[in-house]
Amino acid sequence: MTTRADMDRLDRMTVDRLLLLDTPSLYFRAFHGVPSSVTAPDGTPVNAIRGTIDVLARQIRDLRPSRVVACFDYDWRPAWRVELLPSYKLHRVGEGGGDQTPDELGPQVPVLEAVLDAIGIARLGAEDFEADDVIGTLAARHSPRPVDILTGDRDLFQLIRDDRPVRVIYTVEKFRAVDEARVTEKYGIPGRSYGDFAVLRGDPSDGLPGVSGIGGKTAAALIERFGSVEAMVRAVDEGVTDGFPAGARNKLAAARDYLTVAAPVVRVREDVPLPDVDDHLPTEPRDPDALVQLSERWGLDSPLNRLLTTLRQLDA
């Protein structure tokens, strides 16, 4: 007799769902969302670690992926992006040229990496690229099998595709699953056009000034008419006058230099050279001894037990 558990295992094998973690987004959100009073036995803050592990446990339980990759920034502000658009993330640059990472967060990241390694959850990054680009590349590779992207970063909305299918599990909206219909409902554009939308409207969080005088509604109308920023620039260069909302053509012409460089900066790459990794979700820790040592040293018994229980239940 086929049991419900047998059916669940068969479904997971058939679906082969990949969960991609925007790890920097997760640990920054955990750091600011979990009190700094959450510490290791020696008083060292571990709020980002504990919060990230708990989020991971809950999402694995709810999404039931068969594969997981934790994606990292090996370069949070790549030189090739800055060369094209010097304002890119400029406001985030701290003393010495690095990211403005809080002092209590920085030391937690290597511990989180060690925990993921001991559990057996794949980690991946690439020199000269951001975690977003790693995510975009892995999502494209996994197509047409389903992909969930766990993030609080709207930039990754541009990867949403119903036909692949790729969704964003958006931490900012209580882990809402965002598909193309949701992006269209909120912004009036297809998900894949979100990068062009951000270039036109602007995004201070990434140092994008946008096009002066063009807001969300006009940006959506331009995308509906022309499809992409590059197509808009071509239309301006070729003297096309039809299809532009009132005054928009002149505004685009005035911002031509910005538009030409901003579009490739904002667009998430899907062609990053990445090594193959074993991304299968483990049901038991890869290195139990190391995990025990990490748990005792950093006081992680409760969140790790919750995560391990979740992993074992997936195989039950």
Per-residue model confidence as pLDDT tens digits over 49-86? 999 999 999 999 999 999 999 999 999 999 999 999 99
Residue 230 has pLDDT above 50, yes or no: yes
- 314: tokens are 């997936």
pLDDT category at 14 given cuts 50, 70, 90 is low
Q: What is the domain partition of the chain in residue ranges?
A: 4-189+269-314, 191-266
Dist CA 285 CA 102 (whole Å): 30
Instruction: Give the right CATH number for 4-189+269-314 from 3.40.190.10, 3.10.580.10, 3.40.50.920, 3.40.50.1010.
Output: 3.40.50.1010
217 — phi, psi (to 5°)? -65, -45
pTM: 0.93
Give the CA distances from residue 148 to residues 12, 51, 55, in Å, rounded to whole numbers and listed in that order: 14, 20, 14
Mean of per-residue pLDDT scores for the chain: 93
Closest CA to 52 of 310, 303, 314, 286: 303
Residue 6 has pLDDT above 50, yes or no: no
| Spatial strand order in the sheet of 18-22 | 122-124, 67-71, 18-22, 147-151, 166-170, 176-178
Q: Which residue has the tokens 């592990």?
A: 53
pLDDT category at 312 given cuts 50, 70, 90 is very high
At residue 106, the pLDDT reads 95
At residue 100, the pLDDT reads 81
What fold is seen in the domain 191-266?
Answer: DNA polymerase; domain 1 (1.10.150)
Are the C-beta atoms of 266 and 206 separated by less than 8 Å?
A: yes
